[in-house]
Amino acid sequence: MGLLEKRRGDPAQALPWYQRAVTADPNNPGFLTNLATTQVELGQAEIALPHLRRVIELQPRSVEGYNNLAFGLHQLGRFAEEAEACRAGLALDPGQVELHVNLAGALLGQGDYAQGLEEWRWRWKRPVMARHKRPFSAPEWQGGEMAGKKLLVCGEQGIGDELVYFTLLPELVRRGAHLTVECDPRLVGLLSRRFPEIAVVACQDPPLVGGGFDAQVACGDLPAALGDWPSGATKPSAILSPDVDRAKACRAWLDGLGPGLKVGVSWRSKTHYMGRMKSLPLERWEPVLSVPGVVFVNLQYGDTKDESRRIPQLHTHPDIDRLTDMEGLCALISELDLVVSTSNVTPHLAGALGKACWLLLGGMAYWYWGAGGEDTPFYSSVRAVRACVGGDWEDLLTRIGQDLAERSKGARTHGR
């Protein structure tokens, strides 16, 4: 029954069945694995760790066991221990792709960018990455002089990842490369306005660009290829430019909402599996949404009708599809005073626009949000607000509410 509930996409309903199975047979590695991995998925990694370690005691040569342990440790931010688990598993199977990718996350999470970025190249051996490999014949750029040469930069894995690595485009321009960038179609106009010196084309099949390049590089390999990132690259103030007319229209709509600080909020990620760990139901945002003198604007993509009905102080722009209309969404973000969001595409857009953003991070965070503290490696305008180990969202929301109240109190609203 537990497996059935899990397949239905309801791990919370599966959990009691797995617990009963472990109670009946506490030394069954399969039962322990089902229970522990479900606990990790539900944000209960601390509770899962004894079960994950017990699996390895029972099956000391289980590569999967080390991989599951590494993943659980990652959710708790225990990156050094995660790296140990990955290396123990790799000693048994040096070519195990997921362990290399997890090791990359552990090293990058500790700020070991040199070794972590080398391990990160293993992602290309994942079967799921095959669809991100572009069909170009130019040699792969892995570093070295590119001044005066034609370089094709290919996006990968979605808008969030593309924006992270596209923050390095100004550095490539500074170093003299002649760039063509292939990206998500929704970003073409936003990037082109910002970088008229770069040829920006939509990623599609067959490709819109032909040959003639001296080299190509997937955007996720740019930090490693640059060689001296992050110390040798300056974080840009912005890499996207919204449409001026649409921004003016959004400004008029925001002004019509009355005076007060205009703050955009986003709370949910739809990323498969990890999305649940990064999301924070809007009903729990009361310490933030109750701050006086603030006008809250809905930036969450997807269907939010139910939440909007329950939270009357949340205003939704009637003419912007926040999933497909990236031009409209960016125009709206550009006219806000502040963005507050969990980890999804919204803080990437805010950072890429140079808009002040408070990023709410629970128990786990992708490495590109930094190894600790408020600074983030790629965006100059994004402030990371991190929950304590274990992901205490309540304390985090209280802190955000207090900070927002202070900002609202001292803000000059310019008649808004």
DSSP 175-234: TT-EEEEEE-GGGHHHHHHH-TTSEEEE--SS-S--S--SEEEEGGGHHHHHSSTTTTSP
Q: Which two tokens stand for residue 172?
A: 């490539």
Q: How confident is the model at residue 268 (pLDDT cuts 50, 70, 90)?
A: confident
Could you give the percent of the chain with pLDDT greater than 70?
A: 93
State the pLDDT at residue 413: 46
Q: How far is CA 199 from CA 134, 183, 306, in A?
A: 17, 11, 42
Q: Do 257 and 298 touch, CB atoms closer than 8 A? A: no
Q: Which two tokens stand for residue 342?
A: 């969990």
* Average pLDDT score over residue span 153-157: 92
Tell me how far apart the alpha carbons of residues 175 and 156 are, in angstroms, rounded to a whole number: 23
pLDDT digits (tens, 9 = 90+) for 2-31: 454 455 456 777 888 899 999 999 999 999
* Average pLDDT score over residue span 255-261: 95
81 pLDDT above the threshold of 70: yes
Tell me how far apart the alpha carbons of residues 87 and 102 are, in angstroms, rounded to a whole number: 10
Domain with CATH 3.40.50.150 in the chain: 134-226
Q: Do 202 and 190 touch, CB atoms closer than 8 A? A: no
115 pLDDT above the threshold of 70: yes
State the pLDDT at residue 312: 84
Residue predicted with more confidence, 212 or 187: 187
State the pLDDT at residue 354: 97
Domain with CATH 1.25.40.10 in the chain: 2-130
Q: Which CATH class is domain 2-130?
A: mainly alpha
Q: How confident is the model at residue 386 (pLDDT cuts 50, 70, 90)?
A: confident
1 pLDDT above the threshold of 70: no
Q: Do 261 and 294 touch, CB atoms closer than 8 A? A: yes
Q: How far is CA 355 from CA 3, 94, 118, 137, in A?
A: 44, 43, 31, 38
157 pLDDT above the threshold of 90: no
State the pLDDT at residue 415: 44
State the pLDDT at residue 10: 63
244-410, superfamily in CATH? Glycogen Phosphorylase B; (3.40.50.2000)
Q: Which CATH class is domain 134-226?
A: alpha beta
* Average pLDDT score over residue span 31-50: 91
Q: Is 108 exposed, middle or buried (0-12, 13-18, 19+ CB in 10 A)?
A: buried
> 0.75 exceeded by the pTM?
yes
Q: Which two tokens stand for residue 195?
A: 């970088």
Domain with CATH 3.40.50.2000 in the chain: 244-410
State the pLDDT at residue 28: 94
State the pLDDT at residue 231: 82
